Amino acid sequence: MSAYLRLRAVPSPALRNSSTWLERIFEGDSETVRRYRDQERIYAGASPHHPLAEDRPQSQVVLGGRPVFRVDRHKPPLLVLTAAQTRRVSGFLAMADFDALWHFARDALLPRYGGVRAEPETWRAFAAAHQELKAFYSHTAERGDAVVKWLPEE
């Protein structure tokens, strides 16, 4: 899969609007979840269970969130989801039909991962990543935490 995104749960009261502080929370990598950016295609392309335009938490699963710009403006911003947004994403993932989402995104993803012949392996990798994201957001939402995302430079 392509470059990864790092996700970290942060207690809401501890959250700071400082890119330097947010970068530091990723130094202890043991609690960081890594997800691949291509996973975004699974969620952002279709909305089988949430047709209302104003209810689009699927767009926040991987690459969504409020940007916190870094000192070096050439680096991508960090992204922050509030605890409320995290709960919405968790709810979306709990209700999402992965096979329906896969069906909608597969034509865009398969050419990047070996084509139709590699579909079973590719499907398994993305399905496993979906389960990991679902568990991460569920656990984070239960604790009432926010989520911080960092896309390291390639």
Whether residue 150 is predicted with pLDDT greater than 80 in this model: the reply is yes
Distance between CA atoms of residues 119 and 154, nearest Å: 26
Distance between CA atoms of residues 124 and 12, nearest Å: 33
pTM of the full predicted structure? 0.86
The mean pLDDT value for 141-148 works out to 97
Beta strands in 47-121 (DSSP E): 66-68, 78-81
pLDDT computed for residue 3 by the predictor: 64
Residue with tokens 């993803």: 109
Q: Give the tens place of pLDDT for each residue, 74-95.
A: 888 999 999 999 999 999 999 9
The mean pLDDT value for 24-49 works out to 73
The mean pLDDT value for 65-76 works out to 90
Report, in this order, helix, strand and coil percent for the chain, each rounded to 5. 55, 15, 30
Distance between CA atoms of residues 5 and 32, nearest Å: 10
Whether residue 139 is predicted with pLDDT greater than 70 in this model: the reply is yes
Distance between CA atoms of residues 37 and 1, nearest Å: 8
Q: What average pLDDT does the structure give for the chain?
A: 85
Please calculate the CA angle 71-77-83 and round it to the nearest 5 degrees.
120
